[in-house]
Structure 1
Amino acid sequence: MTEPQSASSSPASPVSPVRADHSGGVPDLRRTGIHPDFWYPVAVSGSVRKKSTFAANFAGERIALYRGESGAVHALEDRCAHRQVPLSMGVVEGETLRCCYHAWAYRGNGRISQIPYLPKGVDRPPRGVHAYPVREAYGLVFVFPGDPAKAATTPLPDLPEFASPRHKTMTFSRTVHCHYSFMHENLLDMNHQFLHRGILGKIQPKLLGYETGPQFVEARYLFTHVGGKKDRGAGMLAAEGIGGSKSPDVITIRTQYPYQTLRLVAEGAEHPAFSLWVAYVPEDAEQRTNHAYGLLMIEKPPIPGALHIAWPFIRRFTERVFAEDRTAVEAEQRAWDEQRQDRNQEIFPVIRDVRDVLRANGTPILPAAALADSGFSRPCP
């Protein structure tokens, strides 16, 4: 975890002049791609069944996941080296994946294992398909789409609450039609609670302070419920002592590139009532659609079985909040698509700083024609 490089202003500090992203030569964040040299979830583990395949995507790269007889998951470029037919349409045999078209078989490292009709004396083609480093953790399948040499030294996110008997985890997996940066901004900027007034009632967020560094922005908010009717799920959270009460709660939200976390600590509590970890994984080459994978880890209340009873109501509550957020961020993306530039006039320093972090750590999105002209190709075995 990166140490703070500069303490940024508290709410009482002066705000610098507005820096509109569409002026002053500042690169448009919505044309910045996510950096591939990290572990990204591309599937829920339960979706990749034994001896079956699963079609995944990362920023326009099609990936065929398959789980072999041993239970291990493999990740290959989703195009057969022969005729480019998707390998995700293939058949799993032991630890190999056989293309559905001409039955070419591939090992988990991408090398061609067998071509059934290969004539005697004819060598196999020297190139197989690209294989991605793959790991399974937290009920998710992670791949490393960047430089494979960096995979071994790049850690997975550390989520101690996931395995803790004191917590129960709710998994989310949703496609959102917007650039991943809108998602970071939405969660970090708690000033948008008016959007959720029908679910949360009247919430008064107050920025207590924030820190920023080359790879992170962390903001702390004080949340106070000041009136209005809450959704039943929010009421269940409060009733079971899982935040959401009338007393103020402190929420800490952190973008630690490329992931994001949220932790809620009720007033006077020693441990967070719940914590959320989320990754926004671009699906298309232009990165205007992302898949959000989230893990909501909720501390169990003292009453045995209470959380189990509340679980359906909590899920409904979180799904409703997410649905409203999705409506907003997808509207932001449509505005960008219509104008083909970022015309946001952002005044909140936390969001301006997270935009800088996402720009600095990302990579430019090349137009499809430029990518083709560059001759870019994945190394194959």
Structure 2
Amino acid sequence: MNQTDPAGSGLSRNQGRPAPEDGPDLRRVGAHPDFWYPVALSRKVRRGRAVAAVFAGERIALFRTRGGIVHALEDRCAHRQVPLSMGVVEGETLRCCYHAWAYRGDGRISQIPYLSKGDRRPPRGVRGYPVREAYGLVFVFPGDPEKAAVTELPDLLAYGSPHYRTMTFSRTVRCHYSFMHENLLDMNHQFLHRGVVGTLHPELLGYTTTPRSVEARYLFTHAGGKRNRGAGLLAAEGLGGKDSADVMTIRTEYPYQTLDLVPEGADHPAFRLWAAYVPEDAEQRTCHAYGLLMIEKPKVAAALHLAWPLIRRFTERVFAEDRTAVEAEQRAWDEQGEDRNHEVFPLILDVRSVLRGNGVPLGAGTPACGPGASGGCAPVAAGLPPAYGGTGVEFPAADGS
């Protein structure tokens, strides 16, 4: 574990100045598929309906059966490649809209209506993805399906707690997911939000780094300027508190990110944010940001209900400003064809190293240094999607019943 000095200079022990970065261009490193990624809001996948989703260029069809179970299939019919997300849910199966081939939740073909039971059938159906629902989101496991059972979903204790109320965000951002991690972790960009939060002074108290995570602690003080009312309400200033210094803890624990804000004198967060940045296209230059903002309820519960629209407008405005910045960074990368950033903040150099080390080089067959790798890099499973250099997936045999 790497730990910063207690003086808060931001320089790591045994590190007098930022070291040059090693390894591939971070913007050419893909998100490792061996994790659970949200791909839709649960409420968008209605009973008896199919919807389209995507992960890193892989088109996925989600459908909720009559019994209320959500399944995830490769979004193409094995017959003519028409998207299954255009299909019709019948009971516990999904039927293609074109020639009415029917699929079970695991991707096996359950019926080809114009063939008799003894006729020859295709040897394969389509790929089925492990899928789980939690926190109002639909998660899929796009990597090695054998690892899904032993890979945990993120543990969000505040979600569903009677002491917190959750605000959900779902937005597409036209940038590589790594820009989002860097943006949230580097609180020195508060000048960007000066019209919303006034003048904020962030002081880095210290940070720790492990092979899979970076956690930073900042002390925030309001140094002047007009502060958006929603900002004060979110920090409990307007819900019975007062203007004070706040301690913010931000953590990238691959592949997710969290933020906790604890007001001065409090022993628990006024709010907690969990976020995931899910790549959409095969080159991973666009991602979908899912966020769960869990806000502590005040003693008078109605106060939060009244403040909710103001908090929503404030957070949407901050997110819009951040999105403008990170999309500009992505455009610069697209124009230059490489990462020409001159990063000087050791904290961000560390998170870049974590993202690079846990990701998968796009178009390659092995992760840079994936989770569980020891003494080198573990090979990517043969079943990974072709975008990662895998050999494809063996689909289950068709079922003629």
TM-score by length of 1: 0.94
1:231 CA drift (Å): 1.5
Q: Which residue of the partner structure matches residue 239 of structure 1?
A: 238
Task: Indicate the SS of the match to 1:298.
Answer: strand
1:12 CA drift (Å): 3.1
Letter in 2 for 1:295: L
1:373 CA drift (Å): 12
1:139 CA drift (Å): 0.3
- Say yes or no: does 1:287 pair with 2:284: yes
The Cα offsets for residues 311-369 of structure 1, whole Å up to 9 and x where unpaired, read as 000000000000000000000000000001000010101100000000110001118xx
- Say yes or no: does 1:250 pair with 2:247: yes
Q: Measure, in 2, the Cα distance between the counterparts of 1:300 and 1:114.
A: 51
- Say yes or no: does 1:337 pair with 2:337: no
1:123 CA drift (Å): 2.3
Q: 1:33 to 1:100 in 2, by over 3 A?
A: same
1:241 CA drift (Å): 4.3
1:304 CA drift (Å): 2.8
- Say yes or no: does 1:185 pair with 2:200: no
1:160 CA drift (Å): 0.8
Q: Measure, in 1, the Cα distance between the counterparts of 2:298 and 2:388.
A: 58
The one of 370, 377, 381 equivalent to 2:392 is: 377
Q: Which residue of the partner structure matches residue 55 of structure 1?
A: 52
Q: Measure, in 1, the Cα distance between the counterparts of 2:88 and 2:386.
A: 31
Q: Measure, in 2, the Cα distance between the counterparts of 1:372 and 1:110.
A: 21
Q: Which residue of the partner structure matches residue 93 of structure 1?
A: 90
Give runs of aligned pairs for residues 16-55 of structure 1, distance below 5 A: 16-19=16-19, 21=21, 26-55=23-52
Give runs of aligned pairs for residues 221-236 of structure 1, distance below 5 A: 221-236=218-233
Q: Which residue of the partner structure matches residue 135 of structure 2?
A: 138
The Cα offsets for residues 164-213 of structure 1, whole Å up to 9 and x where unpaired, read as 10000000000000000000000000000000000001000000000000
Give runs of aligned pairs for residues 363-374 of structure 1, distance below 5 A: 363-366=360-363, 371=386
Q: Which residue of the partner structure matches residue 327 of structure 1?
A: 324
Letter in 1 for 2:238: A
Give runs of aligned pairs for residues 110-129 of structure 1, distance below 5 A: 110-119=107-116, 121-129=118-126
Task: Indicate the SS of the match to 2:325.
Answer: helix
Q: 1:112 to 1:336 in 2, by over 3 A?
A: same
Q: Which residue of the partner structure matches residue 309 of structure 2?
A: 312
The answer to whether the 8 A contact 1:20-1:344 is kept is no
Q: 1:373 to 1:166 in 2, by over 3 A?
A: closer
Letter in 2 for 1:379: E
- Say yes or no: does 1:268 pair with 2:283: no
Q: 1:17 to 1:373 in 2, by over 3 A?
A: closer
1:9 CA drift (Å): 3.8
The Cα offsets for residues 131-154 of structure 1, whole Å up to 9 and x where unpaired, read as 000000000000000111011110
The Cα offsets for residues 199-250 of structure 1, whole Å up to 9 and x where unpaired, read as 00100000000000010000000000010001221233321147xx531000
Bigger Cα displacement from structure 2, 340-349 vs 227-236: 227-236
The answer to whether the 8 A contact 2:10-2:347 is kept is no
The one of 3, 6, 20 equivalent to 1:7 is: 3
Aligned Cα RMSD in Å? 1.8
Aligned length: 370
- Say yes or no: does 1:108 pair with 2:77: no
Letter in 2 for 1:127: R
Q: Which residue of the partner structure matches residue 146 of structure 2?
A: 149
Q: 1:188 to 1:374 in 2, by over 3 A?
A: closer
Q: Which runs of 5+ in 1 are unaligned?
A: none
Letter in 1 for 2:4: S
The answer to whether the 8 A contact 2:363-2:387 is kept is no
Task: Indicate the SS of the match to 1:278.
Answer: strand
Aligned-residue identity in percent: 71
Q: Which residue of the partner structure matches residue 380 of structure 2?
A: none
Letter in 2 for 1:138: Y
Q: Measure, in 1, the Cα distance between the counterparts of 2:49 and 2:117.
A: 32
Task: Indicate the SS of the match to 2:347.
Answer: helix
- Say yes or no: does 1:170 pair with 2:185: no
Q: Measure, in 1, the Cα distance between the counterparts of 2:348 and 2:2.
A: 16
Q: Measure, in 2, the Cα distance between the counterparts of 1:146 and 1:221.
A: 35
Q: Measure, in 2, the Cα distance between the counterparts of 1:281 and 1:67.
A: 22
The Cα offsets for residues 262-290 of structure 1, whole Å up to 9 and x where unpaired, read as 00000110110000000000000000000
The answer to whether the 8 A contact 2:386-2:392 is kept is no
Q: Measure, in 1, the Cα distance between the counterparts of 2:310 and 2:10.
A: 40
Letter in 2 for 1:84: Q
TM-score by length of 2: 0.89
